[in-house]
Structure 1
């Protein structure tokens, strides 16, 4: 599952370096769409290193969420239970085992990863 902006940024940075090397280090040689995509994902990257990304995946995977839920929570990093459930209403669907306390613990775990990122 490839959902993190930072993961995409790492891949695009690698490809950008390859292209710059092949073009003799001329930034003007990069395809415009690659340059714009790289700027976009850097702007929205919540986490800056691969270890943090792995930790986020581990934390969120404990909660048996769908890929969509993981992507939204991992990218947007809501800070409150209300914010999390408003952007991912399925967290509160009948039959789910997430109460406010479980969601708050998950959000606190994400916040701790972000603090040490």
Structure 2
């Protein structure tokens, strides 16, 4: 890895997420929930640990994208943007209502094109309403 970021240099506002996140896929809460839901049928219920069950329950409670089709459409929508994968995951987690809220919750969005962000947020909102 070239020029790895040390723990001291981490700064989410500049998308310097640290060595634990370099080259890793960024998952939203909804993504994790879908992965866990797909694992449930593969095991006897008695084999599922408390941690697994609590994590699945958490994802079901806090997922903003409630079904696989909506998640796939959101992923396609975000894939075609200039947004960093971390920003994409956070937008799916938080579903901010407007550009100002998005930039306040996700500091790295502060320098992003407001029109592009508005379009993304509006399209994501439509997906959530109609699915």
- TM-score, length of structure 2 as denominator length: 0.72
Please state if 1:109 is matched with 2:123: yes
Runs (4+) of structure 1 exceeding 6 A deviation are: none
Partner of 2:50 in structure 1? 32
Partner of 1:24: none
CA-to-aligned-CA distance 1:39-58 (integer Å, 9 cap, x gap): 11111111122221111112
**1:13 alignment partner in structure 2:** 37
Q: Residues 89-100 of structure 1 correspond to what in structure 2 (within 5 A)?
A: 89-93=107-111, 96=112, 98=113, 100=114
Question: Which has the larger helix fraction?
Answer: 1
For residues 51 and 2 of structure 1, the distance between their equivalents in structure 2, rounded to whole angstroms, comes to: 19
One of 71, 81, 105 as aligned partner of 2:89: 71
Q: Could you say what the CA RMSD is over the residues aligned between the two structures, in angstroms?
A: 1.7
Spell out, residue by residue over 1:18-39, the C-alpha distance to the aligned partner (whole angstroms, 9 max, x if none).
222xxxxxx4542111111111
Q: 1:9 to 1:75 in 2, by over 3 A?
A: same
Q: Which moved more, 1:6-15 or 1:59-68?
A: 6-15
Q: Is 2:30–2:93's contact at 8 Å kept on the other side of the alignment? A: no
